[in-house]
Amino acid sequence: MKRSMMKELIKYISSYFDKKGAHDMTHTKRVLKVALQIAKSEKNVDEQIIIASCLLHDVARKKEDEDKCECHAEEGARIAPRILRRIKFPENKIQSVVYAIKVHRKSKDIKPKTIEAKILQDADRVDLLGAIGITKTIIRHSKNNDAVIHSPYAKKLNSHKDYKTESIFNVIKIRLKIPLNTFNTLRGKKIALERFHFLKSFIKQFEKEWA
Ligand SMILES: [Fe+2]
Ligand SMILES: [Fe+2]
């Protein structure tokens, strides 16, 4: 993709994102960076499709957060062609971008079939891990006023209001249960593994300090 087209796309979609918080546009830019790294290790990847898919994958995230649509992947796939046609993106590649956006959400348990969709899903998921993943979780859950950690007292009672919410630490800890073999690409697995290591040492240190 030409630099000018990419710049135009970034400029065009910036209004679709929150200016700050866990779902601001920096996530999208990080996903693109990681996806391009993964793409280097894969064969027959269309870079234009990767760039457009990454930049547009969460274009409807804000809408979902505001309860204006049910699934941001579906909604993003629906609005992407209009945006792509506006920047004169090659018509014959639009459907591949739409497909990658539609299946990017691993929580929907869809196995992507194209290499570009596989790469996007991996790049999106590694952003949940490592230092960035921890930071995003803290930002998101602080907004809901969730407890940092469930106290043993709350755990014992199980009915304590503190225990009814997710604890921030628990959400971070659960990330360790993501199976490495659910990443689609070898490079994606490698990046995830490095971030799992950091997550593990963070959890260990946190528990030591909290005890
Ligand atoms: Fe997403
Ligand atoms: Fe995302």
Q: What is the pTM of this model?
A: 0.90
Task: Write the single-letter amino acid at 151.
Answer: S
Separation of CA 113 and ligand 2 centre (Å) = 18
Separation of CA 61 and ligand 1 centre (Å) = 6
Using CA atoms, how far residue 35 sits from 4, 31, 49, 63, 123, in Å, is 20, 6, 11, 24, 5
Separation of CA 24 and ligand 2 centre (Å) = 10
Task: Return residues with CB closer than 5 A to ligand 1 (ion).
Answer: 58
pLDDT per residue of the chain (211 residues) written in tens, 0 to 9: 788 888 999 999 999 998 887 788 999 999 999 999 999 999 999 999 999 999 999 999 999 999 999 999 999 999 999 999 999 999 999 999 999 999 999 877 789 999 999 999 999 999 999 999 999 999 888 877 777 876 665 555 555 555 556 788 888 988 888 999 999 999 999 999 999 999 999 999 988 988 7
